[in-house]
Copies of this chain bind each other. A is one copy, B any other.
Amino acid sequence: MAVYTHVSAEQIAQFLTRFDVGTLLSAKGIAEGVENSNYMIEASRGRFILTLYEKRVDPADLPFFLGLMNHLADAHLPVPRALEDRAGDTLHDLAGRKACLIQFLPGLSVSEPTLAQCKAVGRALARLHMASASFGMARTNSLTLPGWARLANATRAHADAVSAGLRALIDTSLANLGQAWPSDLPRCAIHADLFPDNVLLLGDDVTGLIDFYFACTDFAAYDLAVTLAAWAFSPDGAVHHDGRAAALVEGYESVRPLSVAEQAALPLLAQGAALRFTLTRLYDWVNTPAGALVTRKDPMAFARRLQFYRAASPATVCGQA
């Protein structure tokens, strides 16, 4: 939520000369994206987001992320395009960081989505999965079972200090998921982090799907489970909004109906999604000093979702119980 790498106006103006975007008119550091530094750029031929990739992003993953964004934009998804410079490159070096100039898309990240908005997000996610099936690159999901086990090991000693019983909840869930996690569901490139922050809306229309920096190759239905966990609860995870879940699934299935196996796997996939964010938030909570530049997010908000999904049927996950 901050600009970590400062780039001067003169550096940005010089950088823009690589592209066919005209001259620089305005540049403001924006406080979005937990992982990277972002500037909102106005040039005489358009508006853009300049992203500088900070240490949490592995430069080796950037061709996958940027390639997927452009593949989806080519398929007319509302995904911002990574601009090619005159040499055809999308990935650049600026101020000691890998950097990219990305199309600006209008739209708002809502805090209290309406049912119509949830339905539109479900449709957009399904369209993303349909289009990404033809994307030629692959990236292993580093935040699935082996990654969860590593995070659980790294945080186990601190979990009960955050909340009594959290350690047992994580260990039990991890053991269950390790035994029962599916292996044969349809796979494609997935967003894997489609929270409201990463969706732009104007009214009921999705105008932007952004921040593909956790994208990877995994089950399409897992991506739906992540999106349900992100959209269908109160922020603290205490209240499940059945209507939002149902609208999201209805929108999704209007474009890409779930198979019987996908439907049956939803409770496990949703537990996995909730465990993933419980663990990454717990890791950051334990490793981020209070008052630091990054705002810590409460891991219990997703531990509560995990508890909800541990008791849920497929119909419950879909808000149709």
Chain A residues at the B interface, C-beta cutoff of 8 Å: 1-3, 8-10, 13, 24-32, 40, 42, 106-112, 200, 202, 289, 291-293
Of B31, B111, B292, the residue contacting A29 (CB under 8 A) is B31
Of B108, B111, B112, the residue contacting A26 (CB under 8 A) is B108
- Give the residues in chain B near A9, CB-CB below 8 Å: 108-111
Q: Are A28 and B32 in contact (CB under 8 A)?
A: yes
**Minimum distance in angstroms from A268 CB to a CB of chain B:** 33
- Give the residues in chain B near A30, CB-CB below 8 Å: 28-31, 40
Closest 4 CB pairs of A and B: A9-B108, A29-B31, A8-B111, A3-B31
Of B8, B13, B32, B111, the residue contacting A10 (CB under 8 A) is B111
Supplied contacts A1-B29, A28-B30, 14 more A-B pairs, CB within 8 Å: A1-B2, A8-B110, A8-B112, A10-B111, A10-B112, A25-B107, A26-B106, A27-B108, A28-B40, A30-B30, A30-B31, A30-B40, A40-B40, A293-B293
Number of copies of this chain that the complex holds: 2
- Give the residues in chain B near A24, CB-CB below 8 Å: 108
- Give the residues in chain B near A3, CB-CB below 8 Å: 1, 31
- Give the residues in chain B near A111, CB-CB below 8 Å: 8-10
* A107 to B13 alpha-carbon distance, docked (Å): 12
**Minimum distance in angstroms from A231 CB to a CB of chain B:** 15
* A202 to B107 alpha-carbon distance, docked (Å): 28
Write the chain B residue with the least CB distance to A112. Answer: B10
Write the chain B residue with the least CB distance to A200. Answer: B26
Q: Are A10 and B110 in contact (CB under 8 A)?
A: yes
Of B26, B27, B107, B291, the residue contacting A292 (CB under 8 A) is B291
* A9 to B30 alpha-carbon distance, docked (Å): 15
**Minimum distance in angstroms from A230 CB to a CB of chain B:** 16
Q: Are A31 and B2 in contact (CB under 8 A)?
A: yes
* A112 to B31 alpha-carbon distance, docked (Å): 25
